[in-house]
């Protein structure tokens, strides 16, 4: 390892230590309660919400995987502009309703929502299991992405396994100490880094070729097929547009960020902010395309960004930008680990293993869960191969299945718990089948649309089974209707943009997460 | 002023504009123009420039939606919600 490699690793490590300090400060403000550790007391302000959502949303998938996709497949990843907007719109349409119900019924985990809306613990448990299982590979690619960066920065002296372990340790330390407050604070830091890092890296690399216009002229000569979409790419384009925002939105880390919001007005603004932030992909697009000319024979496309930065950018700037990539991985990984911990702790440990556990003990179980889940993701990073985008899309297609019972619960009175479970099992079952036996995916979905087809099957099964099974009880439907009326009347809105309070849920409501907790 | 999330003509127009934009970003480019690199837009191959224009349009509509509270109907103070 030469002096430059040592300096690069020190710069990246420095950026990883800043969040440790923030986590330590955040932990001083935290309370030893599950609501504070997992939801920051439902008092997260607008700036924190935007940056923690954006930083959680931008991951290794976006920062590194997008470069590799532009490098390999030309404009295919450009569908990201539309999926960012779709993601923002979902925050308004679905997120605001989930926030309202979460506040009214005191939900902490996604399972609470499904149990309350369908009157069925089984639906909630199935959703929780799907979220845990399919978030793990997405967590895996964050560790892989971070490890790639350190590996390249160190000139290969720090091998992949040790680099991933370094990431694993730092994430655990600060999520362990500060809960959601620590995660949100560090995400503000990471979010700013990420946005500017992606754009600056792109402009810097494209300047090596005389700017974007000149760069594309050179690609037109050297590899013209990289300027257009390949034949049959339309299915992957549309599947990515549907699956990516749905899968990310239905991840447990985004559910947490819906419950934790202080003011409903933020949901009105999020589509614009998230849509505007999609500009950052302009940087990835420039990097990936510049790689076609500058590094035409890269053996590992996921490393194209750090390789080119260290080759063509000033050293310190390259190290800073690589640290931004590390920020992308860290900010998503910390949020995922944190939310998966809350799902296990509250939905399974407290419910089925030790119902009498106190608040302090639960927080400790949450911390130990963080340790175990990250260890699993670390092992997967070492032994499960695949491009970041490929692994990420499978993971997102899994969590995307949850959108069906979510929309059913919010907008379709005739939906039933049996229909929700049947749809989820069918969707996940076919997704696993299409992933491990791709030859079974029928055309035109065989061109990258397996996850989309699984979602279509999920919807069909959900609708048909719901229509042929007994509707939810009248008492539950009456409660849902009352909630819907209160939401439509915006019962929290007093004309200010301050802290929004929603009407308390009735005491004698159907089975809910709140009842269960109060009973204990 | 407090609002109600019931539909109004303004909210319908906002959602129509948004759906138009999403459809324009996703379908024409990939079905009809996917083999075209020309004409260049802002110095970029066609599909890049085309989608950037629609992205800017969508951001403008979403900003307008925020400023008008997504077209939700205002409720007079003291009125029955």
Indicate yes or no: CB of B65 within 8 angstroms of CB of A268: yes
Three-state secondary structure of A276-316: HHHHHHHHHHHHHHHHHHHCCCCCCHHHHHHHHHHHHCCHH
Smallest CA–CA separation between A197 and chain B, in Å?
A: 20
Average confidence (pLDDT) over A126-149: 87
The pLDDT value given to residue A511: 46
pLDDT of A510 reads 46
**Domains of chain B: total:** 1
Res. A202: pLDDT tops 70:
yes
Terminal CA-CA length for chain B: 13
Three-state secondary structure call for residue B50? helix
CA angle at A318 for the pair A313 and A321, rounded to the nearest 5°: 130
Closest by Cβ to B4, choosing from A211, A224, A489? A489
- Place A470 in a pLDDT band, splitting at 50, 70 and 90: very high
Q: Looking at residue A20, what is its pLDDT?
A: 66
Least confident segment among A204-213, A391-400, A489-498: A489-498
Mean pLDDT of chain A: 84
Q: For position A518, what pLDDT does the model report?
A: 39
Asked if residue B80 belongs to a domain, the reply is no
Give every residue of chain B whose pLDDT is below 50, as ranges. Answer: none
Q: Report yes or no on B38 lying in a domain.
A: yes
Judged by average pLDDT, the poorest of A56-65, A269-278, A465-474 is A56-65
Q: How confident is the model at residue A27 (pLDDT cuts 50, 70, 90)?
A: low
- Which residue range forms the structural domain that includes residue B70? 3-74
C-alpha distance from B71 to closest chain A C-alpha (Å):
11
State the nearest Cα–Cα gap between A493 and chain B, in angstroms. Answer: 6
Instruction: Give residue A38's pLDDT.
Output: 57
pLDDT confidence of residue A406: 97
Indicate if the pLDDT at residue A514 is higher than 60.
no
Facing residue for B69 by CB, picked from A228, A268, A487: A268
B35 in contact with A, Cβ within 8 Å: yes
**H, E, C per residue of A57-83:** HCCHHHHHHHHHHHHHHHHHHHHHHHH
Least confident of A5-19, A59-73, A173-187, A298-312: A173-187
Does residue B23 belong to the interface with chain A, where contact is any CB pair within 8 Å?
no
According to the per-residue pLDDT averaged within each range, which of A42-56, A459-473, A502-516 is highest?
A: A459-473
Whether the predicted pLDDT of A179 surpasses 70 = no
CA–CA distance, B30 with A76 (Å, rounded to integer): 9
Residue A288 has pLDDT above 80, yes or no: yes
Please give the average per-residue pLDDT across A145-163, as a whole number.
Answer: 83
- Are B65 and A272 in contact (CB < 8 Å)? yes
Contact A409, A98 (CB under 8 A): no
Query: What's the whole-model pTM score?
Result: 0.86
- Measure the N-to-C terminal CA separation of chain A; round to a whole number of Å: 58
Which residues of B are less than 8 Å from A489 in CB distance?
Answer: 4-5, 75, 81
B30 closest CB neighbour out of A227, A234, A285: A234
Strand-pairing partners, residue A44, are A261
Q: Which CATH architecture has domain A7-389?
A: Up-down Bundle (1.20)
Instruction: Judge whether residue A171 has pLDDT over 70.
Output: yes
Tell which of B32, B40, B62, B68 to mutate to test the A interface (max A CBs under 10 Å): B62
Share of chain A above pLDDT 70, in %: 85
Alpha-carbon gap, residue A266 to A92, rounded angstroms? 9
- Kindly indicate the confidence band of residue A1, based on its pLDDT and cuts at 50, 70 and 90: low
Residue A342: its pLDDT value, please? 84
Q: What is the mean pLDDT of residues A138-161?
A: 83
Residue B9 Cα, gap to closest chain A Cα (Å): 16
Structure confidence at residue A141 as a pLDDT band (50, 70, 90): confident
Residue of B nearest to A220 (CA): B37
Interface predicted TM-score of the whole assembly (ipTM), two decimals:
0.91
State yes or no: cis peptide before A444, omega within 30 of 0.
yes
Report whether pLDDT(A13) > 90: no
Label residue A33 by pLDDT band (50, 70, 90): low
Higher pLDDT among residues A457 and A493, named by residue: A457
Residue B55: what pLDDT? 96
Tell if the CB–CB gap between A82 and B48 is shorter than 8 Å.
no
In chain A, the residue whose alpha carbon lies closest to the alpha carbon of B65 is A268
Interface contact flag, B37 A224, Cβ < 8 Å: yes
Q: Is residue A499 scored above 70 in pLDDT?
A: no
Look at B51 and A78 and tell me if their CB atoms are within 8 Å.
yes
Q: Which residues of B touch A79 (CB under 8 A)?
A: 25-26, 30
For residue B4, give the 3-state DSSP assignment: strand
Residue with tokens 């009105």: A268
> What band does A37 get if pLDDT is binned at 50, 70 and 90?
low
- For residue A175, the model assigns a pLDDT of 67
Residue A515 in this model has a pLDDT that exceeds 50 = no
More confident residue, A260 or A477: A477
**What are the residue ranges spanned by the domains of chain A?**
7-389
């Amino acid at each position: 390892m030469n002096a430059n490699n040592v300096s690069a690793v020190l710069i990246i490590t420095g950026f990883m230590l800043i969040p440790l300090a923030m986590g330590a400060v955040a932990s001083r403000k935290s309370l030893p309660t599950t609501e504070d550790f997992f939801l920051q007391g439902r008092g997260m302000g607008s700036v924190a919400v935007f940056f923690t959502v954006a930083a959680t949303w931008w991951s290794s998938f976006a920062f590194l995987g997008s470069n590799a996709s532009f490098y390999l497949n030309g404009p295919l990843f450009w569908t990201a502009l539309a999926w960012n907007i779709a993601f923002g719109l979902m925050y308004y349409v679905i997120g605001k309703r989930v926030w309202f119900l979460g506040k009214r019924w005191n939900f902490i985990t996604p399972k609470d929502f499904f149990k309350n809306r369908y009157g069925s613990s089984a639906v909630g448990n199935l959703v929780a299991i799907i979220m845990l299982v399919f978030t793990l590979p997405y967590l895996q690619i964050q560790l892989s992405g971070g490890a790639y960066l350190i590996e390249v920065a160190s000139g290969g002296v720090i091998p992949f396994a040790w680099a991933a372990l370094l990431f694993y340790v730092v994430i655990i330390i600060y999520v362990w100490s500060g809960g959601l407050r620590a995660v949100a604070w560090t995400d503000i830091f990471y979010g700013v880094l990420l946005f500017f890092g992606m754009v600056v890296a792109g402009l810097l690399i494209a300047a090596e070729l005389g700017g974007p216009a000149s760069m594309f002229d050179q690609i037109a000569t050297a590899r013209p097929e990289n300027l257009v979409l390949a034949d049959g790419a339309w299915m992957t384009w549309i599947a990515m547009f549907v699956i990516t925002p749905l899968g990310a939105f239905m991840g447990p880390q985004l559910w947490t960020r819906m419950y934790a919001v202080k003011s409903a007005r933020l949901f009105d603004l999020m589509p614009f902010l998230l849509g505007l932030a999609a500009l950052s992909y302009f940087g990835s697009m420039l990097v990936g395309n510049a790689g076609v000319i500058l590094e035409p024979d890269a053996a590992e496309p996921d490393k194209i960004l750090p390789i080119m930065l260290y080759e063509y950018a000033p050293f310190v700037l390259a190290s800073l930008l690589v640290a931004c990539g590390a920020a992308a991985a860290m900010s998503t990984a910390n949020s995922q680990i944190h939310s998966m911990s809350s799902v296990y702790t509250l939905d399974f440990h407290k419910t089925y293993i030790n119902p009498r556990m106190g608040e302090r003990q639960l927080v400790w179980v949450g911390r130990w869960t963080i340790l175990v889940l990250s260890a699993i993701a670390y092992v997967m990073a070492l032994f499960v191969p695949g491009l970041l985008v490929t692994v990420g899309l499978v993971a997102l297609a899994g969590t995307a299945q949850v959108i069906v019972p979510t929309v059913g619960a919010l907008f379709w009175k005739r939906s039933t718990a049996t229909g929700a479970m049947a749809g989820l099992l069918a969707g996940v079952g076919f997704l696993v089948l299409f992933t491990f036996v791709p030859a079974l995916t029928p055309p035109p979905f065989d061109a990258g649309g397996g996850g989309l087809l699984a979602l279509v099957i999920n919807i069909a099964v959900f609708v048909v089974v719901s229509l042929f099974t007994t509707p939810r009880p009248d008492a539950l439907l009456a409660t849902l209707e009352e909630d819907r009326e209160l939401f439509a009347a915006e019962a929290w809105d007093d004309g200010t943009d301050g802290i929004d309070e929603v009407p308390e849920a009735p005491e004698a409501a159907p089975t809910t997460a709140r009842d269960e907790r109060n009973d204990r | 002023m407090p609002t109600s999330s019931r539909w109004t003509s303004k909210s319908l127009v906002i959602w129509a504009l948004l759906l138009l934009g999403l459809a324009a970003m996703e379908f024409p480019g990939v079905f009809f123009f996917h083999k075209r690199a020309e004409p260049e837009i802002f110095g970029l191959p066609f599909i890049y420039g085309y989608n950037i224009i629609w992205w800017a349009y969508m951001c403008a509509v979403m900003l307008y939606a925020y400023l008008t509270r997504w077209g939700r109907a205002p409720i007079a103070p003291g009125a029955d919600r």
